[in-house]
Amino acid sequence: MSITDTEVREIELKAYAIRKTVIEMLSEAGSGHTAGPLGMADIFAALYFHVLHHDPKNPKWAERDRLFLSNGHITPVRYAAMAHAGYFPLEECMTLRKFGSRLQGHPERTFLPGVETTSGPLGSGLSQASGYALAARMDGPPAGGFRIFCAMSDGEHEEGNTWEAAMFAGKYRLTNLTAIMDRNNIQIDGNTEDVMPLEPLADKYRAFNWHVIEIDGHNVAQFVEACDEAKSIKEKPTMILAHTTPGKGVHTIENDYRWHGTPPGKGPTDKIPADKQREVFLAELEEAQKSI
């Protein structure tokens, strides 16, 4: 799955379009998480526009790759990526978190075609993905020939269920499973290493019989190469440990844990007045996009 410089640039531009949509939908909703979705935009753009085998017009295609979202609170970036990819009209993004919307605050499998699992309780996603990966291997080709991806947060590694799943996947050598950790070092109460130290994360996964690849989560080429490498690994699941910047693209809030679970318009006002946050964020994203 090689990628050209032109394709990388196209995905980077798409990531900024996704970021803008995220800000607009969070502002419209008046609730939701900002930092994580902005930080994972490059990876979700790469997934939906290069890595995943999928068909927006046929979301139940049997041979599609499955993408599990464990940290369901960053679902605005998934919804935005799906809309830009053609799963549903872009304007539907503005219904986020509204009554009757298909775009719930955490993804609901039965509401939106293309969403594989319901998620919200942190720590559950890797268990779901690991079980699915084992079942897919048992079923065998052709339906079992797809790959399973699981996007996760670093903070949810404070949940014991995550490590049970890591043991399970390592024991059963689930080579068809690729996990992607958003290593942004923040959670709702502060920095992860202050709340509950997680390091050495890479060594821990290696000890559980995983293949580990550490990347810059904003480097599209690195991410695509990591996904390629994961496919070549036999007899082990793969963890792509992606180092990301929370709030990426909006320099005013980058690396500020206070924006973990806060939408524009309701965030800290020490730098930007609440009524100017949406406007400023979109302007900063526009400026950052020019550097691509």
* Structural domain harbouring 253: 5-289
Q: What CATH number does the domain containing 27 carry?
A: 3.40.50.970
Q: Which two tokens stand for residue 116?
A: 């594989």
How would you class 92 by CB atoms within 10 Å of its CB: exposed for 0-12, middle for 13-18, buried for 19 or more?
Answer: middle
Q: How confident is the model at residue 281 (pLDDT cuts 50, 70, 90)?
A: very high
Note the pTM of the prediction, 2 decimals.
0.96
Strand-pairing partners, residue 240, are: 180, 213
pLDDT for res 142: 59
- CA–CA separation, 186 and 83 (whole Å): 27
How many domains does the chain contain in total? 1
- CA–CA separation, 147 and 136 (whole Å): 9
Q: pLDDT by residue (tens digit) across 131-156?
A: 999 999 998 865 567 999 999 999 99
